[in-house]
Amino acid sequence: MSQAVKETDFEFENQTKVYHGKVRDVYTIGTDYLVMVASDRISAFDHILPEPIPFKGQVLNQIASLFLEATKDIVPNWVMAVPDETVTIGRRCDTFPVEMVIRGYLSGHAWREYKAGRRMICGVTMPEGMKENDKFPEPIITPATKAEEGHDEDISREEIIRQGIVSEADYVKLEEYTRKLFQRGTEMAAERGLILVDTKYEFGKVGDTIYLIDEIHTPDSSRYFYAEGYAQRQERGEKQKQLSKEFVREWLIENGFQGLDGQKMPDMPNSFVQLVSERYIELYEQITGKTFVKADTSDVMERINKNTSAALKQLN
């Protein structure tokens, strides 16, 4: 029987601490390595939903692995090994406390701000006369501070530098890497008949070297539209056909939840859980051009523990 990974509690050799995030569980090994386990948890509006999504962690880890490999000529990344379908082992970096969000289209959070009458986001001016899902003249970078708990907060480039959150020299490099990564992701998506709408990147540093960390271009960190029919749907004012987590947010909104005080998380019927799983697998196949092969989940915790422990022995 298939097992979804809702939570993990491993004890790896030389493990010094563990951090359970919204979606990933991160194990620190000694002082140099991190083991990142992509669980099947799903979050929206900065809340973890009650039911895990089968194979979601595998989808995220394998897509991230593919894109990290495909972009290492742009910026070095943290990955050292991918020993299991849901696990990445990499170097421990000092993380920059900002997420580099880049948007090619007026969608999601940016559209909600625009619809509310605001024309500036993170210090960046958005043009007048745009419709939802219109393409920006040039991609805009809208950073967010990383919150340990609760909502990440929009912040401008000027405030990041003024507050000393990131040095100006480092921030200039982060912006350069962000634009180059988004361009590469856009090109790769186009080859598969997709539009990369918006995404976010996270970076860290070891010594003087900046590394790309965490995941990239997955449905948890990115929004994709189908390219075919995009222009016609825009002309007709129709919703875009998309592959992202936005449909989960829309379902929550329809069921009276946006993460606000006093709102109750709705129950997730099995049919919806299955639909979300199918959407994640669809995106994997669409963006990689490969058939998704479901990992053996009959004893998923033992599998993860065995594969990860073997890889750690080889690194030490």
The 10s digit of each residue's pLDDT in 64-106 is 999 999 999 999 999 999 999 999 999 999 999 999 999 999 9
Query: How far, in whole angstroms, is CA 241 from its chain's centroid?
Result: 19
Contact 39, 52 (CB under 8 A): yes
Could you tell me the residue ranges of all domains in the chain? 15-93+246-315, 95-213+225-243
Question: What are 144-184's pLDDT values in tens digits?
Answer: 997 655 567 999 999 999 999 999 999 999 999 999 999 99
What letters, b where the CB count within 10 A reaches 16 and e where it falls short, cover 70-87? ebeeebebbbbbbbbbbb
Question: What are 7-47's pLDDT values in tens digits?
Answer: 999 999 999 999 999 999 999 999 999 999 999 999 998 89
> Which residues, in sequence order, are CB contacts of 236 under 8 Å at separation 6+?
none
pTM: 0.90
- Name the architecture of domain 15-93+246-315: 2-Layer Sandwich (3.30)
- Could you report how far apart the first and last alpha carbons of the chain are, in Å? 35
Domain 15-93+246-315 and domain 95-213+225-243 have a common topology: no
Task: Say whether domain 95-213+225-243 belongs to CATH 3.30.470.20.
Answer: yes
